[in-house]
Amino acid sequence: AVVLGIESSCDETAVAVVDSDRRIIAQRIASQDAAHAPYGGVVPEIAARAHAEKLAPMIEGVLAESGIALPDFDAIAATAGPGLIGGVMVGLVSAKALAMASDVPLLAVNHLEGHALSPRLADAGIAFPYLLLLVSGGHCQILRVEGVGRYRRLATTIDDALGEAFDKTAKILGLGYPGGPAVERLAREGNAAAVPLPRPLAGSKEPHFSFAGLKSAVMRAHESGEHAVADIAASFQQAAMDCVVDRLEYSLARTDPVATLVVAGGVAANQAIRTALERLAERHDMRFSAPPLALCTDNAAMIAWAGLERLAAEGDAFRSDPLDLAARPRWPLDPEAEPVRGAGY
Ligand code: ATP
Ligand code: MG
Ligand code: FE
């Protein structure tokens, strides 16, 4: 099977053609980093307009490069949420128009499901169930992935997401936007033990994450003028990593054993975090898998892949979505998960 994927939920406009043999036949990604950088974060209105300008010609280009005619696709998959609603609507409405014009099924994909299944696009050896650390700009969750469409949330953040913590730290330290890669780069030159920083919720009897207190501590450390910026970056990254490992240990101790630990989402691009997770997996005799960097941050190949997974999964309801389907700014992967205080869900 072959699927056209469209992603527009945040500040990447992306289009990809992927087949069930895990081949990315063609893809394009347009990042809006430069447009948002002056504001230090994503401006929803600017994002939506940029998606509207870029998307149609990108679809045209990717289709031409793939050499596959629209009616020959098995589905058109687009992110339908969660995310910035203006951007999501641009992608979803475009996909509906293409689906209608070519009589190909529409698949409305949850952006988080795209991240959650992305490791399987890169690595055919990952079988269900697996333990997933989903760490991105808007989310920080531990999920037990039982199968396509079956996600059990074991932990989430009660305040900031991990990517958000990296972005805010970068802003405090004057490293610009987007912050994750800049903090990681600078951290390599710093001493991770130089600045005493808290590990919020480490050792807690609840499973969740918290990063707001860490960010405030970073701000105080910076304002004190006592520390080199590289030392703060390195110490922040170490503290964040320690929290992640501690929370994963908690979840691992309380869930049925799984063979594989997987990380996905933009922060999965962080090499220090990948290494820490690899060691954790080794200690637990688990296999560890992380997608290549280009599949960690937002892309359309993971959306097309989530569509392919749905086509291959059991159950008819999975195979197409109605053309009157609404975009969803919020859309939890596990609808049964208990809400927690703060923004996390
Ligand atoms: P969500 O997926 O929750 O809707 P999003 O789509 O904006 O949010 P992603 O594109 O998956 O998020 O990830 C972007 C985030 O990843 C940003 O917060 C960015 O700072 C972070 N990030 C990217 N590269 C790195 C890195 N090397 N180290 C740490 N963080 C990183
Ligand atoms: Mg982005
Ligand atoms: Fe994302």
Burial (CB count within 10 angstroms: exposed 0-12, middle 13-18, buried 19+), residue 212: middle
The encoded tokens of residue 110 equal: 């949850």
The pick from 88, 166, 211, 270 for probing ligand 1's pocket by mutation, whose C-beta has the most ligand atoms within 8 angstroms, reads 166
Sign of CA dihedral 49, 77, 16, 296: positive
* CA distance linking residue 148 with residue 151, whole number of Å: 8
pTM for this one? Answer: 0.96
pLDDT per residue rounded down to tens, the chain (345 residues)? 999 999 999 999 999 999 999 999 999 999 999 999 999 889 999 999 999 999 999 999 999 999 999 999 999 999 999 999 999 999 999 999 999 999 999 999 999 999 999 999 999 999 999 999 999 999 999 999 999 999 999 999 999 999 999 999 999 999 988 899 999 999 999 999 999 999 999 999 999 999 999 999 999 999 999 999 999 999 999 999 999 999 999 999 999 999 999 999 999 999 999 999 999 999 999 999 999 999 999 999 999 999 999 999 988 778 899 999 999 999 999 999 988 865 444
Q: How far is the CA of 314 from the centre of ligand 1 (A)?
A: 32
User: CA 144 → CA 130, 153, 166, 239, 245, distances in Å?
Assistant: 6, 6, 25, 24, 16
Which atom of ligand 1 lies nearest, measured to the CA of 82? 4
Any idea which ligand is nearest the CA of 265?
1
Q: How far is the CA of 81 from the centre of ligand 3 (A)?
A: 10
- Are 303 and 109 contacting, i.e. CB atoms less than 8 angstroms apart? yes
DSSP state of 202: T
Instruction: Work out the number of other CB atoms within 10 angstroms of the CB of residue 139.
Output: 25
Give 226's contacts (C-beta < 8 A, 6+ positions apart).
none
Known binding residue 160? Answer is no
